[in-house]
Structure 1
């Protein structure tokens, strides 16, 4: 049977642009893994590895115009978003190069016996690294084959719960299971206190509108559930949100499958009891979707049943505003949430300053739910910084590590201890003279 073609599709028109590949066979997956394994020794030299990362960033910069044009044609995300994503990628590659140069990522700890894509391939070739260091295979079955390949020692994934769970299960079912770092889905709850809504409800509503519609709602950290109070402050928030979302133009999702899922998802949510839509989300033109949001009494989310659908991520420009009567309803809803990438609290000035104990109590309540906790901000936008954590309890991610920021490198490291090994046989990083000048912990003390 002939391999299925992989087409580049214009999401703005739904038309095929060009055939870019065919779905990889099991043999081709094996070839890609074998090539990557053969390239691995070339990365053992940290200087070469760092130069490769910087070279890749430089070539991506040089190809920026072409890459942004091609990516926009295939995703409809727009030049502004894609230019930002490319800049973030280049920044992260250079940041990783700095980390590799520094050497601290090796986590060297010593106790003495008496102590207690084509651009990336060109970058590889420029630095003498085999092109197989970067490989690409297409197809759902090919992804499962890749995770199951005996030479693959770890896997990372960003996508849907269905696809991620299939790969997660495949990684665990291997004769020798491997780590699977999956990012599967996140609701990213927001809690607005009554005092915050009273103090600045209009501002919060406008900020929420900008965050939930950014990139046509296609950020993994889009706020998908907002707990807002009943009463005048909450009403002002909803009014501001209504005005801002109503002024948002229809947009194009990444592909028509996502558009179909979005339209079906909002239709199902709209049919639930006691759910209203001040601005109705759904299909826009033939290839676009319109932003909107739902409101529902928070009590409906606390009791389970059909309204559990509102506690699931709906990818696209939509959110759910649950109106609560008291703090007990906030707790009841939060107790039913799965793991998330982010959790946000919007506080009054007194709560943020610690004058009122409510701020600290609410932060403590949401912290177990997410890998990143925000106060008086919005989760869309992920800084590439050493302190960043882009992960969270399942199903947000399947591991505790981050996928963004300097410590993401720890996903792909395996600790090794050398015991009673003669110094001439040790790697240079572990020798007493520290010839590479790395930060290390020796006999329990940090050594610079």
Structure 2
């Protein structure tokens, strides 16, 4: 078996690990344990499942220092950023625990037997149930929040499914350390063997997705890797859902009154949003639209000054660096583009560091060639002369996770006219803020039309559980054979009974 390597992106130095790629036989064994765990977890009460999520959060918190140090050496991200991300990760585990105790996510409904306008009808009861072992493929840019212990893992476990994570090749040591923490938390909670698992290596990841015991895949990463895994799924005898978060340009639109009133402030915020975490966030605004004129010129000057003063962006690995250089070259060579900051290929120190870039183009020349995703500290400014030109330019922008408006009251007529188009093209609309930073909450939606994702469901927030649940109905079932939540005398969760919403009693 081959031994995996790890690279410090701050220096470019690669070292061996003691981690071996998972063999086909080992993948099969891991999936078999997960299948056994799924049967047992299904019989456990919801309060136990919530306690499990709390125990996983506690175990991660106890190992915070080691986890952050390990991740810093494999990602080049700062300790402050990684500590914040780990806090987000433990918070979301506990928030899912609260949702499991609440039980509303089950969408329980009861229709008693009786006479109806269609004549006598049977007793039918329905709720959402777990689907089975879930394979989770994390991202390189979020070693905690979207990796082994991240949102896909938390939501799948909350839904009652075992999880098998595929360790990311860019941070195998962090993946292992995170898995060890989760394993300890699961042991303390009395979870069955196989509740959490992990595989290493690309071949093992493909084998995992193709195994008939895996019921769904949660994926965050490149479109190319996603298409490879989807091809594996197509070869299965029984297809399964693939939930992928893929790529996004995230347009930001500045309206005239807002630009005149607070252009420098908006430019400073945009600079922080573009350069934060080396520009390696799926919600980074990659293209900004400005009303053409002197105010736009001043905005560009403020943005260049702010981004020029930012620390160099340390990219996560050599593949991200190569992808950024290719996008940087394509954008720089696109018709009508001028460079306001930096030059193609500019480095900024050792390892995989890159200099921030600001490019500019008139809206009338914008084409799809100008809207490729540059995963790094780069933004393209686009000057538009009127609403019709802005709308035409937006047609060249791929559908995205987010669209952001900076608008004052005098701009609301413009924004109102754009909202129908924007609502079709984004999963989250941000007003007078920045899309980087995704709140973990009940109301959050982190997704978007293709190519941002291939799903209508969110990967962040409580409703992320819906990806890993399926509806099941019981007709004329004896009460003794029903789940507790569907029995007449149960009052612990919100249910819809004979069409009437029933709230739990104290």
Report TM bin, short chain: over 0.9
Whether the aligned pair in 2 keeps the contact of 1:345 and 1:362 (CA below 8 Å) is: no
The equivalent of 1:100 in structure 2 is 100
* CA distance 1:4–1:115, change in 2 (3 Å): farther
The equivalent of 2:155 in structure 1 is none
Alignment of 1:366 with 2:422, yes or no, is: yes
Residue of 423, 430, 442 corresponding to 2:497: 442
Q: What is the alpha-carbon distance in structure 2 between the residues aligned to residue 278 and residue 55 of structure 1?
A: 50
Alignment of 1:326 with 2:390, yes or no, is: no
Residue of 388, 393, 405 corresponding to 2:449: 393
TM-score by length of 2: 0.83
Q: What is the alpha-carbon distance in structure 1 between the residues aligned to residue 237 and residue 382 of structure 2?
A: 46
4+ long deviations beyond 4 Å? none
Secondary structure of 1:135 counterpart: strand
Q: What is the alpha-carbon distance in structure 2 between the residues aligned to residue 20 and residue 137 of structure 1?
A: 14
The equivalent of 2:119 in structure 1 is none
Alignment of 1:274 with 2:332, yes or no, is: no
Unmatched segments (≥5 aa) in structure 2 = 117-178
Secondary structure of 2:314 counterpart: coil
Q: Judge which range, 75-84 or 136-145, deviates more.
A: 136-145
Whether the aligned pair in 2 keeps the contact of 1:203 and 1:237 (CA below 8 Å) is: no
Deviations 1:71-121 (CA, angstroms, capped at 9, x unpaired): 001101111110111011101000011111111111101111227611111
Deviations 1:109-145 (CA, angstroms, capped at 9, x unpaired): 1111227611111111112213421111122232222
Unmatched segments (≥5 aa) in structure 1 = none
Alignment of 1:265 with 2:327, yes or no, is: yes
Q: Judge which range, 7-16 or 412-421, deviates more.
A: 7-16
Q: How many residues align?
A: 436
Whether the aligned pair in 2 keeps the contact of 1:263 and 1:283 (CA below 8 Å) is: no
- CA-CA distance at 1:424 after TM superposition: 1.7
The equivalent of 1:253 in structure 2 is 315
The equivalent of 1:90 in structure 2 is 90
- CA-CA distance at 1:377 after TM superposition: 0.8
Counting only pairs closer than 5 Å after superposition, residues 14-413 of structure 1 correspond to structure 2 as 14-44=12-42, 45=44, 46-114=46-114, 117-280=179-342, 282-287=346-351, 288-301=353-366, 304=367, 308-351=368-411, 356-413=412-469
- CA-CA distance at 1:285 after TM superposition: 1.9
Q: What is the alpha-carbon distance in structure 1 between the residues aligned to residue 384 and residue 20 of structure 2?
A: 51
- CA-CA distance at 1:190 after TM superposition: 0.9
Secondary structure of 1:402 counterpart: coil
Q: What is the alpha-carbon distance in structure 1 between the residues aligned to residue 34 and residue 180 of structure 2?
A: 14
Whether the aligned pair in 1 keeps the contact of 2:331 and 2:372 (CA below 8 Å) is: no
Secondary structure of 1:12 counterpart: coil
* CA distance 1:20–1:76, change in 2 (3 Å): farther
Whether the aligned pair in 2 keeps the contact of 1:10 and 1:16 (CA below 8 Å) is: yes
Secondary structure of 1:357 counterpart: helix
- CA-CA distance at 1:20 after TM superposition: 4.4
The equivalent of 2:174 in structure 1 is none
The equivalent of 2:142 in structure 1 is none
- CA-CA distance at 1:230 after TM superposition: 1.0
- CA-CA distance at 1:444 after TM superposition: 0.8
Q: What is the alpha-carbon distance in structure 1 between the residues aligned to residue 252 and residue 115 of structure 2?
A: 49
Q: What is the alpha-carbon distance in structure 2 between the residues aligned to residue 160 and residue 57 of structure 1?
A: 28
Q: What is the alpha-carbon distance in structure 1 between the residues aligned to residue 81 and residue 282 of structure 2?
A: 14
TM-score by length of 1: 0.94
